[in-house]
Amino acid sequence: NAGVTQTPKFRVLKTGQSMTLLCAQDMNHEYMYWYRQDPGMGLRLIHYSVGEGTTAKGEVPDGYNVSRLKKQNFLLGLESAAPSQTSVYFCASRGSSADTQYFGPGTRLTVL
């Protein structure tokens, strides 16, 4: 039981490049979330999903796209990376009847 895993752990991009972050959970959770954490700002919700095939915008969705084709996976895409997207990205999941979100270890992304 790995919980929530994120791939990759670190990545450096050049401005304008694209990439996809993968979040996987093995707890059969309905809800999945993508957050970004910037210094001094806590976590901000980018996008979330309430079930397979569904996605919705969070607080800071611009510049990101997401997909939830399989229940266990939630992908976060950056089509054209910008330096402002340098951040630590956290994925989380939660069961439909549970209160607690379980977080992945985070992905540190640097955009030059």
Partner 1 sequence: AQKITQTQPGMFVQEKEAVTLDCTYDTSDQSYGLFWYKQPSSGEMIFLIYQGSYDEQNATEGRYSLNFQKARKSANLVISASQLGDSAMYFCAMRGDTGGFKTIFGAGTRLFVKA
Residues that bind partner 1 (CB under 8 A): 31, 33, 35, 40-45, 48, 50, 56, 58-59, 88, 90, 92, 94, 99-103, 105-106
Q: Which of residues 61 and 63 has its CB atom nearest to partner 1 in the complex?
A: 61
Please report how close the Cβ of residue 42 comes to partner 1 at its closest, in angstroms. Answer: 4
CB 63 within 8 A of CB 46: no
Residues 6 or more apart whose CB falls under 8 angstroms from that of 24 comprise: 2, 4, 5, 6, 7, 72, 73
Please report how close the Cβ of residue 80 comes to partner 1 at its closest, in angstroms. Answer: 26
Quote the CA–CA distance of 101 and 110 in Å, as a whole number.
26
Please report how close the Cβ of residue 63 comes to partner 1 at its closest, in angstroms. Answer: 19
CB 101 within 8 A of CB 92: yes
